[in-house]
Structure 1
Amino acid sequence: MTDLAPVVRRIRALAPHRDDYADLPRSWRADLLAGVTVAVVALPLALGFGVASGLGAAAGLVTAVVAGAIAAVLGGSHLQVSGPTGAMTVVLLPVVARHGAEAVPIVAIMAGGIVILAGVLGIGRLVAYIPWPVVEGFTCGIGVVIALQQVPLALDTPRAEGENAGLVALRTLGDVDWSQAVAPLALVALVVAVMLALPRLRQGLPASLVAVVLATAVAEAARLDVDRIGVLPSALPAPHLPIVDLATTSALFSAALAVAALAALESLLSARVADGMADDIGRTRPNRELVGQGVANVASGLCGGLPATGAIARTAVNVRAGARTRVAALTHALVLTAIVYLAAPLVGRIPLSALAGVLLVTSARMVDLPTARAICRSGRSGALVFGVTLAVTVVFDLVMAVEVGVAVAAVLALRAVARSSGLHREPLAEESGDRLTADDEHALLHEHIAVYRIDGALFFADVRRFLDELALVSDVRVVVLRLGNVRVLDASGANALVEIVTDLRRRGIVVLLKGLRPEHRKLAEGIGVLDALGEPRHLFDDLDDALEHARSHVRRAHAPTRMG
C-alpha cells in the first residue's frame, strides 16, 4: 500500500475536488454574471474562429460549448475559459488544406490524448522556462497571421490555394472582384468602427456582439448580397467516434503533435495570465490543467468540433467581470448552449464579413506595440529573440516559432554566461598573504608556481577557451587551479579539467586543485578529474596549504641543482 501512495496522490492532484468551489457560497452571483458576460464576448469569436478554421461556424460553437464546459470542470485553473482560438486556426488551416475538414476532429482526439499524457507525466511546469520575448513574439505573430487569414472573408472572395497565410492573402487580392467586394468591406469597416468607438463611449458593453448585431441588421435592411454563416444545427451533435485506420492516424500524427503542443502551451500561458490578474485566488495546477484540456479536446473531437485551448482574451474578460470559481466558465458554456437551441436561425444570418471585422480587431489587439518597444529597448538579445519568434510564426508555424525562439534564447543565455566566466592568473604574494622580499626563498620558489582562478561557469559552451589559455602555460613547475568561484560545472567542463590536468602533467607540470565545491565533487570523480591528478593529496580546501605543497614540489625539483 505504501508503494501505491505516491500514485494515489498523483491521481488526486489531477482530479476535480470540492475545494474547487470553496468560494461559491459567497461568489455565485458574481460567477453567474461573469459567465454571461464571457458568453456574449465568446459568441462572435467562436463563430469567427470556426469559419476561419475552414470547418464552419457550427464547429466553432460546438467547440466553445463542449470543450468550454469540460475544461471548466476538469482543468487546473479556477478562472480559465476554453474554446476555439485564433492560434489554433493558424495550425488547422494547413491540416484542412492537406487532409480535408473531416480530419480535424480526428486530430483533436489524437492531440487530446497527447495532452493528457503530458499532464500525467508532469510536463506542465516546463512552460515556466519559456522566455518572455518568445511569448510576446509568438503572440504578435499570431495576431499578424489571424489578420492575414481574414482577407478572403472580408472580401467575400473564395480563399486561394496555399498554406501560408501571407501568400494566400496576396493571391486572394489578385483574384478579387472589387465591384462585389464593396458591400462586405463596408460591413467590415462598420464592425471595426463600432468595436473601437463603443468602449470609449460606454464601458462594459460587449462591443463585438453589438457590432455584429448592428452589421447584421444593416445587411438585412439593405438586402446586401453578402455571404452569411448559413444554417446552424438546432441542437448539439451526439458524440461519435470518427472512422479511422492506421494509415490515417500515421498521416495525421505530426499534425496532432503540433496541435497538442499548441494546446498545452497556449492553455498554460493563458492560465498564467489569469493567475497574475487575480493574485488572491488559488494558483493554476499546470499538470491538472493539461489533463483537463486533453479531455476537453477529445470530447470536442468526438462531437465534431475543433481542437480547443485556454483563450487568453476570454479568460481576461472572465477575471475582470469578477469571476471567483470555475462556475463562471461553466455558465459561459451553458449560455452558448442556450443560444444553439433558441437562436440558431438568427445567428445563421450573420454576415461572414462581420465576423472578419471582429477578428481583425482581435488580431490588432494581440500586437502589443508598447510591449514590443520595451523588449527592443531591453537589449539586442531580447530584440533578436522577439523578432525571430515573430518572423517564424508568420512565415512557418507556431510550434516551430516557439522551438526556434527558445533555442535562440538559450544560445544567447549560454553566450552571456560564458562571457561572464573567466580565467585569471593571480599574483601569488597578494593572494597568499605573504610579504616577500627580493631574496626571500619563497619569492624564488614562487617564480615556478602559477595560480589561476576560474570564475563563473565551466561548461560545454566555454571549455575550449579555458583549454586554449591553459595550453600556453610554460616555465613553471606547479599550477594551482582555484575552483571556488565556479558556480556551474557540467560534464563537458569536468572533462575539460581532465584534459587540462593531463596536458600539464604530460609537460612535467604538477597540478593542484583548490576549492572544488561539494556539489561538483561527485561529477568530478565520475568523469575522472581526481584520477587525472595522480595524487589524492593534490586536492585542497585552503590556498595556503596548496601553496606550501607547491613550494615543496619546487624544492624537490631544485634540490639536485643546489647540491651540485
Structure 2
Amino acid sequence: MRVLPTVRALLPSVRDYAELPRTWRGDLLAGLTVGIVALPLALAFGVSSGAGAASGLITAVVAGLVAAVFGGSHVQVSGPTGAMVVVLGPVIASQGIEALALVSVLAGVMVVAAGVLKLGRVVSFLPWPVIEGFTLGIAIIIFLQQVPAAIGEDAGPSSNAAVSALQAAGAASTTEFLAAIVLVAVVALIMIGAPLLHHRIPGSIIAIIVASVMAELLAMPVARIGALPDSLPAPTVPGWDWGLVIALTGPAATIAILAAIESLLSARVATSISDTGSYDADRELFGQGLASVASGFFGGMPATGAIARTAVNIRSGGRTRFAAITHAFVLLFVVYLATGPVARIPLAALAGVLMVTAVRMVSLSTLRSVVGSTRGDTVVLIVTAAVTVSFDLIQAVGIGVLVAAFFALRALVKSGGVHREEISGPAQDGDSRIAVYRIEGALFFAAAERVLERVSDIENVEVVIIRMSQLQSLDATGARVIADLVNTLERRGITVLVKGVQDRHLRLITRVGVLESLRHHNHLFTALEPAVEHARSHVARNREAPATTS
C-alpha cells in the first residue's frame, strides 16, 4: 500500500496554483514570450534530429503542456532540446522514422519509473566538471550538426557530427553555399544584437522573419521547412513489434537517462535563479516521463526540461505553471493558424538559430572557473567534452564520473597520512625510546599500505603510541592495516599503545582484531597524557629489569 501515497505525491494538486491570482499577468506575458522563443527552436530541433519540423512542433505543444501540469518545477519549460537531438539522430537513421514514437514511449515509461522509485536525487551526485564538460560537448555537437544546413547541403553519411560536417562542406556548391551563409549570418547578427537593445526582444523570431522575407524577396536558392500539419494528429498507440522493442531498449535507456539528467539539471538551475521555491525531483521525473509518453502518442519526440527556455520564462516574469501552459497554447495557435508562413522558413535560418543557441549554452566564465580550480577538474571537463563529441553522451557521463572519482580518490589519499610528532612538555630520560604517530585524514584501501610501511620500519624504539583522534574516515582495509601494524611491532618486542579511537570507529577496529592485537586491554587510551605516562613507565621498567637481574 506504500505505492499509493508515493503516486499521490507525484500528482498535480491545487497548491500548484496557489500564487496564480497574484501572478497571472506576469505568467501570461512570460508564456507568450517563451512561446515565441520556443517556436524556432522547436522547428530547428525537429529538423536537426531527422524527425522533421512538425515533430518538433508537436513535441513542444504536447510535452510542454503535460510536463507543465505534472512536473515538479513551477517554472520549468519543456520540449525538444539539443541534447535529445544528438541521441535521436542515429536512432532515426538506423531504425527509421517509424521508431520515433515507440522510442519516445519506451523512454518516457523508464523516466516515469525512475520518478516512482524516487531516483530524482541521483543527479546531485554528478560532479560539476562532468556537467560542464557534458554541456560543452553537446553544444559542440549541436553546432556541428547545423553546418550542412548552414552551407546548403545534406548531412554527410558519417554518424560523427564533426566528420559529417566536413563531408557536407566538401560537397557544397558555390551558389547554395553563399545564399545559406548569408542567411545564417543575418540570423546570428540579429540574435546577438537584439538583447543589446532590450533583453525582452525575441531576437530568434525576429531573425527568422527577416531571413524568411529575404529568401522570398531575393528568390534565394535555399531549402525550406516544407509542409506542416495544420492540426494536431489524433493520438495513436505506437506499433508494438517485439523485435523493434528489443532493438530500441538500449537507445531508449540512453534517452531516458539523458532526459532525467537534463531535466533535473534545468530544474535545479531554475531554482537557483528564481524565487519560486524548490522543486520536487521525483515529481519532475514523473512529469517529464509522462510528457515523453504523450508526445510519442502524437508522433512527437522525447522531451526534457529546457534550460534556455526556462531561463527566458523566469526573466520574463513567470512564477507558476500557468506560464509554461500558456507557452504550449501559443505554439498550438501556430499549428492551427500559421503553418503556411512557417513552411516557407529556410532551413539555413533555423541552422543559424541553433548555432547561436549552441554558443550561448557555453558560459565562458563558468569554464574559466572550472579550469582555474584544479588540474583534476580541468582534466575531467576536457575528457567528458571530448568523449561526448567523439563517442556517446551516456558514455561521456560515465567516463567523466570515473575520471572525477579517480582524482577525488587521489586527493583523499593525499589528505590522509601518518606523522611522527614530539612528546609535548619537558623532555624526560627515555623519551627517545618512545615514538608518537598521528594518523589523520582518511585511512582506507588506497592509503593504508603507506601507513604500514612508514611505521613498521621504525628502529631503536620500545613503545609506539598511535594517535587516532584525528582520523576522519576508516574502512575495513585501513582497520586491518592497523591490526597488522600492531602485530608486526609487538612481534619485534615493541609495545603499542592506541589513543583516541572515536566511537564511530571503535566497532570496526574491534571486529577486525585491532584490540586483540594489543598486548593488554589497558593499552587503549582516551587521552594522550596517560598514554605517554604509561609509555615512560614501561621504558623505565625495561631499564630497571637488567639491574634487578644482576
TM-score bracket for this pair, using the shorter chain length: over 0.9
Equivalent residue runs for 1:327-338 within 5 Å? 327-338=322-333
Matched, 1:227 2:220: no
Q: Measured at CA, do residues 549 and 238 of structure 1 come closer, stay the same or move farther in structure 2, by a change above 3 Å?
A: farther
Counterpart AA for 1:295: L
Matched, 1:469 2:457: no
Aligned equivalents of 1:368 and 1:106: distance in 2? 35
Structure 1 position 395, deviation (Å): 1.5
Q: How many residues align?
A: 549
CA contact (8 A) 1:144 1:367 kept: no
Aligned equivalents of 1:508 and 1:65: distance in 2? 80
Q: Measured at CA, do residues 234 and 513 of structure 1 come closer, stay the same or move farther in structure 2, by a change above 3 Å?
A: same
The alignment partner of 1:453 has SS state of strand
Q: Measured at CA, do residues 282 and 9 of structure 1 come closer, stay the same or move farther in structure 2, by a change above 3 Å?
A: farther
Matched, 1:260 2:256: yes
Residue matched to 1:486? 471
Aligned equivalents of 2:245 and 2:515: distance in 1? 53
Equivalent residue runs for 1:140-159 within 5 Å? 140-159=136-155
The alignment partner of 1:282 has SS state of coil
Residue matched to 2:292? 297
The alignment partner of 1:80 has SS state of coil
Residue matched to 1:454? 439
Aligned equivalents of 2:240 and 2:484: distance in 1? 57
Matched, 1:310 2:305: yes
Q: Measured at CA, do residues 422 and 248 of structure 1 come closer, stay the same or move farther in structure 2, by a change above 3 Å?
A: same
The alignment partner of 2:107 has SS state of helix
Counterpart AA for 2:244: T
Stretches of structure 1 that go unaligned for 5 or more consecutive residues are 438-442
Could you tell which deviates more after superposition, 547-556 or 413-422?
547-556
CA contact (8 A) 1:232 1:348 kept: yes
Q: Measured at CA, do residues 214 and 475 of structure 1 come closer, stay the same or move farther in structure 2, by a change above 3 Å?
A: same
The alignment partner of 1:488 has SS state of strand
Could you tell which deviates more after superposition, 540-549 or 19-28?
540-549
Counterpart AA for 1:492: T
Counterpart AA for 1:364: V
Determine which of 78, 89, 92 is the counterpart of 1:96. 92
Structure 1 position 91, deviation (Å): 1.5
Aligned equivalents of 1:502 and 1:115: distance in 2? 53
Q: Measured at CA, do residues 238 and 512 of structure 1 come closer, stay the same or move farther in structure 2, by a change above 3 Å?
A: farther
Give the TM-score, by structure 2 length: 0.95
How large is the RMSD of aligned CA atoms in angstroms?
Answer: 2.0
Aligned equivalents of 1:109 and 1:241: distance in 2? 9
Give the TM-score, by structure 1 length: 0.92
Matched, 1:42 2:27: no
Residue matched to 2:546? 561
The alignment partner of 1:36 has SS state of helix
Aligned equivalents of 1:11 and 1:113: distance in 2? 14
1:512-545 residue CA offsets vs partner (Å, 9 max, x unmatched): 2211111222333343433443644332212223
Residue matched to 1:171? 167
Counterpart AA for 2:217: A
Determine which of 333, 353, 356 is the counterpart of 2:351. 356
CA contact (8 A) 2:490 2:519 kept: no
Aligned equivalents of 1:230 and 1:527: distance in 2? 72
The alignment partner of 2:497 has SS state of strand
Stretches of structure 2 that go unaligned for 5 or more consecutive residues are none
Equivalent residue runs for 1:12-411 within 5 Å? 12-278=8-274, 280-411=275-406
Residue matched to 1:540? 525
Q: Measured at CA, do residues 418 and 339 of structure 1 come closer, stay the same or move farther in structure 2, by a change above 3 Å?
A: same
CA contact (8 A) 2:10 2:282 kept: yes
1:38-80 residue CA offsets vs partner (Å, 9 max, x unmatched): 0000000000000000110111111111111111111110000
Counterpart AA for 2:262: E
Q: Measured at CA, do residues 510 and 322 of structure 1 come closer, stay the same or move farther in structure 2, by a change above 3 Å?
A: same
Matched, 1:427 2:412: no
Aligned equivalents of 1:530 and 1:104: distance in 2? 63
CA contact (8 A) 2:496 2:519 kept: no
CA contact (8 A) 2:62 2:294 kept: yes
Residue matched to 1:521? 506
Aligned equivalents of 1:496 and 1:342: distance in 2? 75
CA contact (8 A) 1:491 1:523 kept: yes
Could you tell which deviates more after superposition, 117-126 or 521-530?
521-530
The alignment partner of 1:456 has SS state of strand
